[in-house]
Amino acid sequence: MSATCNVVVLLSGTGSNLQALIDSTRTGDSPVRIRAVISNRADAYGLQRARDAGIDTRVLDHKAFEGREAFDAALIEQIDAFNPQLVVLAGFMRILSAGFVRHYQGRLFNIHPSLLPKYKGLHTHQRALEAGDTEHGCSVHFVTEELDGGPLVVQAVIPVELHDTPQSLAQRVHAREHQIYPMAVRWFAEGRLTLDDRGASLDGQLLAASGHLIRH
């Protein structure tokens, strides 16, 4: 697919994954076009990164809405104004309603700092250390109605070192996030990645339950 793939990114914080996506589109041959960055927090540093890159930004404060459904409906309206083929969650700290997820079925990505299905939710690095895991990592997945569930696209696996702390692990996992997220987004933009009833496929081949695995 040579056409441009419009992407809208949702975030609530620092936006280092957004930065990795922005950097990956600067190669000249990238089919990915980040059309807008939307945050539920006006002070998210990710918005500044977007502005610096000349990308449209919007702020939609969830506190101004009565309930999740109303916020999500307004969010859909804002997102769809940019006509995205793909919506990317990059540290968006909101649980999304079933209606929102269904609206973007097959074109909504999330990144999570663990080897899913392990450690859904928060404090993933701490939990991996406490469990004595020898490997840890991060996952990109299609979003379904199950929190941090949904078919896996790609996982990066790193070894847990003897002296690792939650902070040191977080740092190394983050570095891998910055590699696999742009990779997955590009696959999608090139039309290589699809989702159907059987799961996620890359180049027409059904992916394993773990998604495409990248080690070390």
* Least distance between ligand GRF and beta carbon 191 (Å): 25
In the complex with ligand GRF, the residue whose CB is nearer, 90 or 185, is 90
Applying CB under 6 A, the residues found at the interface with ligand GRF are 11, 13-17, 90-91, 111-113, 138, 174, 177
Question: Active-site positions?
Answer: 112
In the complex with ligand GRF, the residue whose CB is nearer, 17 or 144, is 17
Annotation-wise, does 83 bind a ligand? no
Phi/psi at 140 (nearest 5 deg)? Answer: -110, 130
Q: What angle do CA 50, 56, 61 make, to 5 degrees?
A: 85
The residue of the chain with the least Cβ separation from ligand GRF equals: 91
* Least distance between ligand GRF and beta carbon 174 (Å): 6
Angular region, 195: left φ>0, alpha ψ -120 to 50, beta rest = beta
Neighbours of 163 (CB within 10 A): 6
In the complex with ligand GRF, the residue whose CB is nearer, 113 or 182, is 113
Residue for token digits 């804002």? 78
Annotation-wise, does 55 bind a ligand? no
Measured in Å, how far apart are the chain's first and last C-alpha atoms? 30
* Least distance between ligand GRF and beta carbon 84 (Å): 18
Annotation-wise, does 213 bind a ligand? no
Please give the sequence-ordered ranges of beta strands (E in DSSP) within 24-127, or none if there are none.
32-39, 56-59, 86-89, 108-112
Q: Give the relative orientation of helices 166-189 and 16-24 as an angle to the nearest 10 degrees.
A: 40
In the complex with ligand GRF, the residue whose CB is nearer, 113 or 151, is 113
* Least distance between ligand GRF and beta carbon 37 (Å): 11
Annotation-wise, does 10 bind a ligand? no
Which residues are registered as beta bridge partners of 142? Answer: 109
Annotation-wise, does 206 bind a ligand? no
Query: Residues annotated in the binding site, as ranges?
Result: 15-17, 68, 93-96, 110
Query: Which residue numbers belong to the known binding site for (6R)-10-formyltetrahydrofolate?
Result: 68, 93-96, 110
